[in-house]
Amino acid sequence: MEREVGGGTPKIRLVAAGAMVVLIVVVGAYAGSMLVGDLTDPMPNASFTHEYDDGTVTVTHAGGDSFTTAETARLEVSSPEAEVTTTWAAADEAFPVEEGDTVRLTGVEPGVTVRIIWTGTGEEPSFRVLEAFEISDE
């Protein structure tokens, strides 16, 4: 008696092969993401306070993550409306930025928005606005 190995209808074999391909793709994608990881920069989690006095805003790192050269290429405080920017830390200067550290931005008036901008150090450096606030004279 002759026996057929790998029998079954062609439709069943085609469905099984398709399911196997999908499974391989899903497992491969998951494994690849675990090996490579996230190529974008993880955004730091920090809080800030600010005080305004006669054209100058003082920004203080109020808590959360410190900023080091490991994950931060640049930390700036900027007001596009006032056309002023100050670098809090860049390259190896002024790092680390930790809780209690301050920076001053001059040339701002009430009503303008000030932004704290972080730039990461990854393969494709990204920048993010960590916080934005409007200056009031109150």
What local confidence, expressed as pLDDT, does residue 17 receive?
A: 65
Residues 31 and 55 in one domain: no
Give the Cα separation of 57 and 111 in Å (integer): 12
Among candidate residues 74, 59, 49, the one with its CA nearest the CA of residue 104: 59
pLDDT, tens only, 78-103: 999 999 999 999 987 889 999 999 99
CATH of the domain at 128: 2.60.40
Residue 38 confidence (pLDDT): 47
Quick one: 33 and 96 in the same domain? no
Q: Domain count for the chain, please give it.
A: 2
For the segment 108-129, the average pLDDT, to the nearest whole number, is 92
Write out pLDDT tens, residues 61-79. 999 999 999 999 999 999 9
Q: What is the mean pLDDT of the chain?
A: 83
Query: 27 lies in which domain range?
Result: 1-37
Residue 27: is it exposed, middle or buried by C-beta count within 10 angstroms (0-12/13-18/19+)? exposed
Same domain as 124, residue 71: yes
Paired residues of 78 in beta bridges: 85, 115
Domain match, 28 and 53 both: no
Residue 69 and residue 18 share a domain? no
Residues 69 and 106 in one domain: yes
- Whole-model pTM? 0.69
Say whether both 50 and 20 belong to one domain: no
Q: Are residues 57 and 96 in the same domain?
A: yes
Residues 53 and 19 in one domain: no
